[in-house]
Amino acid sequence: AGSRHQHRTLATLVVIEGALAVTLLIAAGLVMKGFVRLSQTDPGFTATGLLTMRVRVAPTDFKPDRAALEFLTPALQAVQAVPGVVAAGAISQMMYAEWGWNMWVRYEGQPELPPTEQPLVETRNVTPAFFAATGQRLLAGRLLDEREMVTGDSVQRVVVNEALARRDFPNGSPVGRRIYNGNTWIEIVGVVSDVRNFGPIMEPRPEVYWTFAQRFPAATGYYLAIRTQFDNPMAVAASVERALRGVYPG
């Protein structure tokens, strides 16, 4: 019942509302398409059946600079013995949750450059069974083992990821090459498949994996990665917690 001017204004508003509705539908469709694509991106580890937990111990309960060695070895053995557990390992910064530490590296045979001109890598500390727990594949060389759980070696040994091999050794294998980190030589003994540690959007970054024994034996905080036989890993969570408390009541 309004005037002709009011009718024109209302018609214009209807057209604008229709245009906005179409725009929102298109945007929603793009968001959904992007979400589906990201949800299908391979994170680099097998999430089904993987139980993760954070554990912290008191340094005063262990010998100086030995907490990681004195706790993790018996704790992971106890967890491994829980029915339904396939593999159990520890890491300093959990994938998809925390970034690693940064380090500039100089490879043996390369000229010494200012640190900021050297390749940058992410570093994480692990126990040997960590890769079995995540399902990362060995691509070259060997994995870390009990030989790397000894402290005080003059030459440390590490595993690197595929992203590092691809960036820094495009025409050859990094296995057997050595890294100088400013005070000691580090030998690369193996290459493992990438984990998208920075989420599904970003490409994997070059990474170096040490053992706690070689890099940070005094560490008191760890993330555990526990591979189980169950689609729902919480089925063994209570048993895992009891196993850990049996080793370390604190």
Once rounded to an integer, what is the mean pLDDT over residues 58-86?
A: 95
Once rounded to an integer, what is the mean pLDDT over residues 162-176?
A: 95
The larger pLDDT score, comparing residue 239 to residue 101, is at: 239
Which range in 154-158, 181-185, 230-234 is most confidently predicted, on average pLDDT?
230-234
- pLDDT of 34 strictly over 80: no
Are the C-beta atoms of residues 222 and 92 closer than 8 Å to each other? yes
Alpha helix positions (H), the chain: 4-39, 67-80, 130-134, 162-168, 212-215, 237-247
Once rounded to an integer, what is the mean pLDDT over residues 132-149?
A: 93
Specify the amino acid at residue 48.
T
**Residue 103 DSSP one-character state:** E
Longest CA span, the chain: 92
Average pLDDT, the chain: 89
The larger pLDDT score, comparing residue 25 to residue 4, is at: 25
- pLDDT of 33 strictly over 70: no
221/59 Cα distance (integer angstroms): 10
Beta bridge mates, 52: 225
Q: Predicted confidence band at 122 (pLDDT cuts at 50, 70, 90)? A: very high
Which of 119, 205, 191 lies closest to 157 in space, CA to CA? Answer: 191
- pLDDT of 100 strictly over 90: no
What per-residue confidence (pLDDT) applies to 14? 86
pTM of the model: 0.80
Q: Predicted confidence band at 39 (pLDDT cuts at 50, 70, 90)? A: low
What per-residue confidence (pLDDT) applies to 154? 65
What is the sign, positive or negative, of the torsion defined by CA atoms of 226, 101, 146, 142? positive
Once rounded to an integer, what is the mean pLDDT over residues 149-175?
A: 88
Angstrom CA distances, 94 to 29, 49, 151, stand at 33, 16, 23
- pLDDT of 123 strictly over 60: yes
Return the SS3 of 205: coil
211/130 Cα distance (integer angstroms): 10
